[in-house]
Structure formats: structure tokens, C-alpha cells
Chain A
Amino acid sequence: MDYVIEMLNIRKEFPGIVANNNINLQVKKGEIHALLGENGAGKSTLMNVLFGLYQPEKGEIKVRGKKVNITDPNVANEQGIGMVHQHFMLVDTFTVTENIVLGSEPKKAGTVNLKHAEEQVRELSERYGLNVDPKAKIRDISVGMQQRVEILKTLYRGAEILIFDEPTAVLTPQEIKELIDIMNSLVKEGKSIILITHKLKEIMEVCDRCTVIRKGRGIGTLDVADTNPTELASLMVGREVSFSSEKTKANPEDVFLSVKDLMVKDVRGVEMVKGLNLEVRAGEIVGIAGVDGNGQSELIEAITGLRKSEAGSIHLHNKPITNLTPRKVTQSGVSHIPQDRHKFGLILDFPIGENMVLQSYHGKPYSKKGIMNFKQIYKKAKALISEYDVRTPSAETPARSLSGGNQQKAIIGREVDRSPDLIIAAQPTRGLDVGAIEFIHQKLIEERDKGRAVLLLSFELDEIMNLSDRISVIFDGKIIADVKPEETSEQELGLLMAGNSTEKAGEQ
């Protein structure tokens, strides 16, 4: 069997660490090959080497059996290697076609000729069942569609080998299903796919083979048919991993957070939360399930004071906190693990240590009469860093240089350490690996057991089912159903999230 891609004994060093230590990756033509590893294991480094963004210190790359020297992404493109990035690289105000041709625009007498390109895009889109409108503007289409535009971009450039970098992180369960169909139709047409992921379920579902790397070393390549999630997880983490978080039954006490008839508008002035009612009791985890864009973000921003509530009320312990400033809400005992850790959770250019006191720098002992006490700050930061296992070269390292999982652990450490009464965790494990997810889930359950109220927002049904004591389904700005995880199924939740009422869902 011929390999379409061979990466042999790849070694890549960064100052202080060996990111890839003699890793081998061999991809057969027409297969979906998973690249599995924890955050920071070296998956992205390896793919960036393949895509020409990094030059390896040692090792060789063969494409279709021929040794090549991939010095930059253009060479990778010429070799038929395309990358579907996790963070889309699209111009919002351009159309689908304009985005696809960007960088290799078809020119006609000095002007861009889009007609022909549009036809090509339409044809490609039909062939692989992508169903993308070439004339739509990026800002008007869903995240799932935007990802397909990224796929089209690589196909348009003639890619034969597609690298998907954690493609399902941003998708809804329905969109994930559709993506899997697309990937299957791609390989049917003779393309090869490398899937970077740490979601074992996806690997089991779509992949033919799987290469596992751990801490920069290649652990081995397995046929997916001969393995199981437990084996993969322990290979990846290097120890036994439990999937369902162990937890006892919740003992809900008094209502801690109560939201009544809340109305919130988004940036554009469109009403996103439309008379929402919600209660969270002390000692329980309430999961909000819903498709992205049904008012979840606005709800959380309204509770935390980041966005104005137009009508309705929010009470904490029977005290109104509607439209208080974020600082006042925080001081009333609310912790917030924000959905977007780069935009809200961290100041990436600050040292990780100073980020640890982002919510508490203004009080003793971190400052006194307006003068910062960095000795105390770093003392606290170091304690949190070791307690929450944040892997960083030092507390002075800029938050930007940490991996996503470690950034998230730092945020969780900061937010949980303040012993809040209510923890709002928005997508707390987005983009993290099994080990980190396990850790974070454990922490949230611990906090629940200490009698704290936890409001969990997640687009991962697994996480919602696994962690919640009660699930509230949000649709079109309202909570339309309240179910117990043990009395429902993913299917029922999926239907509810699509706006079917409980009765209808029951019938189907």
C-alpha cells in the first residue's frame, strides 16, 4: 500500500522544549487518519511542519513517495496539501466566492473575473454535497457553513490531502453529523484526510486509522476497528481515564439565582433573550442546552453585568442584581468562566501571574491604597498555578504563550478560588483534551458539592448530559423545557434544541 503522506522521524524544537521528538506519521490514500493527542502534545506543531509553517530540525517528508522540502505554505499548496483551520480565516464582508479565490484571483484585463470562479465553486460544492451558496456573504452564513467555505478553499486550490484542525469544536451536533458526511464523500472521491482531534467518539465514528502522540513522542498507529475509546484515551493521556465524571446525587437547596422575564438585546439591537425564566439552586449544576445563537451568550452577559437587560429581573439570594456593573455582580458572589477565554478571560499580553488577580487586584493583599503589591500577587499566582496544574515555564510568562488548556485551567483557578456562591461556566472545556476536561469537570462537581450553584453553558451534549443535575433547553431566547439528564436522551435533547416542544419530542 502506498502512502500519500509520510512524515518520518520528525523532530522540532522550540527554546526549552522538544515539541516533536522523532514522530512518524504515514497516511494512506483515501483514508481518514486521526491524529490524537492532548493539548500541547505536539499535534499542531507536526501539522504546521507538514504545512510549511515550521521547518523541522530533523526528519523527512514524502508526498506520494517523493521526498519534498516544504519551505512555506505555498509549497504545501502545490503539493496538494490543504488545511482547514480551527479559527477560520475568512473576510466577513466578502462573499463565499471572493473568499475562496482570495490570493489566486482569476484576472481578466486587470479586473477580477468572478463569474467563472462562481461556477467552479458551485460545481465543487455540489460534487461533495457541501450545499454552499457561492454568492452569500460570510457574515450572513452559519459557522458550519463558514467551515465548508474553508473546505472549499482547499479544494479550489486542488488539495488532495486535507488537514482538519479540530473541526468539530465549533459545531452543533447536527452540523457535526453533516461534516462527517462531507468527510466521507471527500474520501470517496479519492481525497485523504488528516483529522486533528481529541474527541474519541469522532475517531471511532469516522476514522480508519489513528496515530497517537503524547508529550511530543509518537506512541503508535492503530487501526480504529481494532481499538476502543478506553484504549485510545489511556494511550493519549498515559494513564487510565474515566469518561463519565463520578458524582453523587445533587442536594439542591434554596434558589440562588433567579431570572424572571428577562429581555436582552444583542449588539445589533436585535432581541435575543425574549422573556426568559431560569432558576439555579445552591448545590446543583444546571446545564443550558441549545444551538449557538439562541440567546445563551446574551443571557450570561446580562447576568454578569456585561450587557444591559431591557426588561425583567435577575436576583441573587433574593437581592436584585439587574443591571449592576460587572464589578458589583462579581462582588455579590458570582464567578464567570467566560465562553471566549481570549476575548474576555485573559489579558494575553499580561503575565499569567497577573492574570490570576484580574478580578481581585484592587483589594488587599494584592494592592493597598492603590499601590500594587506584586510580591503578594505572584505568591498567590504561584499557589494557584501549582494547585490547578497550570503548565507554564514561570508565573511571569505572558498568558499568550500558554496552551489553551492551561489558559483555561488558569481562568478556572482564578474564578473558583474566590469561593463564589454562583459559578457561571460557559463552554468551560471548549477545545480541551480529555485529561483537562476530566480535571475541570471534577472541579465543577466539587464546587457543587460544597453547596455552590453552577450554571453550565455548553454546546457539547455529552458534557451537558454528563455534568448537569438539571438541563434547561434554550430556544429562541426562552427556556422551552426543563429535563433531568437521567430521564432524557441525546435525541430528545436534539429535537428540543431545534425548537420542538416536549410533547412533540415525546411523540417522535
Chain B
Amino acid sequence: MFSNRIVNILIPIISVLLGLLFGAIIMLIFGYNPVTGFAALWNGAFGDSYFIGETVRQVTPYILSGLAVAFALRSGLLNIGVEGQVFMGWLASVWIGISLDLPMVLHLPLAILAAAVAGAFWGFIPGILKAKLGVHEVIVTIMMNYIALYLSNSIVRNLLTDGADRTENVAATASLQSSWLSEMTFYSRIHYGFIIALFMAFIMWFIINRTTTGFELRAVGFNQNASKYAGMNVSKNIILAMVISGSFAGLAGAMEGLGTFGFMSIKSGFTNIGFDGIAVALLGANTAVGVILAAFLFGVLKIGALNMPTEAGVPTELVEIIIALIIFFVASSYMIRWIILRFKKEGK
């Protein structure tokens, strides 16, 4: 009745539906009308072209941070440091964007590349520590997140500016912003970055599924002993996985630095792009296509939520709760799998 493949697709869908259902129940409990609430959410994400533009803008970094987490997970590593790698990518892209004077064909690719390299470097450190000394990547990446946050704040304040809270805008030659896309969507902050994000999703799929490198990374992710037995260099693959994962995260930073904002500012806390990436990867079952779909859902929820207080009077906190519920149900996919198999049994 259900093949394994269908079960794997059903689980995230059921998780999302259950999340929305419980969200509706919570809205009811607090005295809001879930129908108008969800209608406001929908309008806030797709209601007019401005909202669509903003949704795409929000989805873009989510795809990349989701890919970063998913890529590491496919190699058996939990990269909690995507957040920090996003910061480093953001900083590097803006730095190149404001300090060089080059034609666009050079400047923009260079700024994007700098972001990838900076994120890769930030992933390389926990990678080499794990590979050579066996230090758990989760601990190192969490610490690296804080280092990234305060280091980039300090660089913005002391190196890139004279004590200001934000850098100047990146040169037009390094910007991803697009006036015609923006005009088409009533001056939303949509930018060319989504093309890069979709392209990188293809790259991830290609590396993981079609190259010997991907074969090795997946093998190491499943069974390090057998990989070693098969002559693979386990340490090299761990480092490589973290470097590639970090470069995806760095690109997510570039989306913000060169696209959405066009500058870097002092931050009092994390952007959550990286942390949300963990949920996106989880919901997307660590596949490239899954990540795109999950990122889209997260973007819709985040942007649509902004409209819920104004149109339906539902507080944004409630949307955060719905997102949390969806993640909860994905995380308890074991339970949903069990229920599906139960139905399968009875259906016979």
C-alpha cells in the first residue's frame, strides 16, 4: 500500500499538517479565529507581488543554510556552526563589496567567492579538530558561532568603519540587488540571490549523488570503519564535508550582505538563519529538493506571519509556536512512521 519512498515523503507533509492543526487549536484556545489567522498568513506571503518578493527574499538564505546543514548531515556531521559561518560569509562579502573598485563581472563573483571561502574556513576549523583530535564538532561549532558574532561586530566597528553601527553600502558592482525585480514587486527587497541558491541546491545534489567525493562522504557518514576498510581517507572526508558545508553557509551570508541589506551592521544576537537551517534540513530530509521545499515553507511562514497581527490580530509569537510545532512533529517522525505502518497493517 505504501512504499518506503512514499512514507518518506508523507512524513514531512503530515508533520506540517499536524503543526498547522495544532497551531489552529492554539489560536482557538487564545480566542482567535484560525481561519482568518491562516488567511492573513496566506495573504502576508502571497497576497500581492510585494509579499511574494519578500517571501522569495526570505527563502533564499534559508535554502543555502539548509543545504549547509543537510550536506554535513549526509556526511554524518552535525554542523551547528552554520550560524557563525553565515556571519563570516556576510562579513567577507561586504568587506570585498565596499573596499574594492572593480568592474561588476569581477567584483560580484569575487565578493560571493569571498563569502564562500570565509564560511568554508569557519567550517574547516571544527572539521580539522574533529578529524585530527576527535573533538566533537557540535561543541566547537557552537563556540565558533559566538566567536563569529563578536569578531564580526568588532571588525565592523573598528576596521570597516570609524565606530559606526553599520558599514557603508556595497558598491553597485558587487550588489545582487535588482531594480527591475524590485520594481516588479512594489519595491520589495527581492534580489538575484535566489538563482544562486537554486544553483547551489543543484550543486549539492550533484556532489552527493553523482561524484566519487559524494560517494565517499556518504560512506563516511554511514560507517567510518567500512570506509577506512575500503581505502577512503576518513579524516580528509570529515574536513571536506565541513568545508563544503561552511561554504554553503557563507553563501547564505552573502545573500544578506550583497542582496537583502547591502551592508553589514553590528548585531546584538544571532540572525537565526543558520539555526533555522537545521530545521529546514530536517524537514527536507537532507535532500536538495527537500531543502528547497522546506526553505520555501519556512520563508512563507516567516513572512506571512508579519501580516497576522495587522490583519487578524494574532500575535507573531503564535506563528513561532506553529513553526516550533512543525519541527516537533518532524523530529518525532518515528511516531508518525509508526502510525503510518499501523494503518498499513490494518489496511491489509
Residues of A within 8 A of B (CB): 304, 306, 325-328, 330, 336, 338, 343-350, 354, 358-359, 361-362, 367, 370-372
Contact = CB atoms under 8 A, between A and B. Distances in A.
Interface residues of B, number: 19
B212 A326 contact: no
Contacts of B223: 343, 346-349
B179 interface: no
Given A346-B226, A347-B219, A358-B226, 16 more contacts: A325-B231, A326-B229, A328-B231, A336-B229, A344-B225, A345-B229, A347-B223, A347-B226, A348-B223, A350-B218, A350-B219, A362-B212, A371-B210, A371-B211, A372-B212, A372-B215
B226 A361 contact: no
A361 B210 CA distance: 12
Contacts of A350: 218-219, 222
23 contacts: A306-B228, A326-B229, A336-B229, A338-B229, A343-B223, A343-B225, A344-B225, A344-B226, A347-B222, A349-B222, A350-B219, A350-B222, A358-B219, A358-B226, A358-B230, A359-B231, A361-B215, A362-B212, A367-B212, A367-B215, A371-B211, A372-B212, A372-B215
B333 interface: no
B231 A372 contact: no
A235 to B, nearest CB: 33
B-side interface mostly: helix
Contacts of B229: 304, 306, 326, 336, 338, 344-345
A347 B227 contact: yes
B207 to A, nearest CB: 10
B213 interface: yes
B257 to A, nearest CB: 32
Contact of A372 (B211, B227, B233): B211
A465 B178 CA distance: 79
A370 B213 contact: yes
Closest A-B pairs by Cβ, 3 of them: A327-B231, A344-B229, A358-B230
Contacts of B231: 325-328, 330, 359
A326 B233 CA distance: 9
Of the candidates B211, B219, B225, B229, the one having the most CB atoms from chain A within 10 angstroms of its own CB is B229
Contacts of B225: 343-344
Contacts of A330: 231
A434 to B, nearest CB: 28
A362 to B, nearest CB: 5
Contacts of A348: 222-223
Nearest to B345: A55
Contacts of B210: 371-372
Contacts of B227: 347
B222 to A, nearest CB: 5
Nearest to A325: B231
Nearest to A340: B225
A343 B228 CA distance: 11
Nearest to A373: B210
A344 B233 CA distance: 14
Nearest to A304: B229
A346 B214 CA distance: 17
Contacts of B232: 327
Interface in B225-244: 225-233
A338 B228 CA distance: 12
A200 B233 CA distance: 43
A359 B227 CA distance: 9
Interface string B186-224: 000000000000000000000000111111001100110
Given A347-B223, A348-B223, A350-B219, A371 B212 contact: yes
Nearest to A363: B212
A329 to B, nearest CB: 8
B59 to A, nearest CB: 30
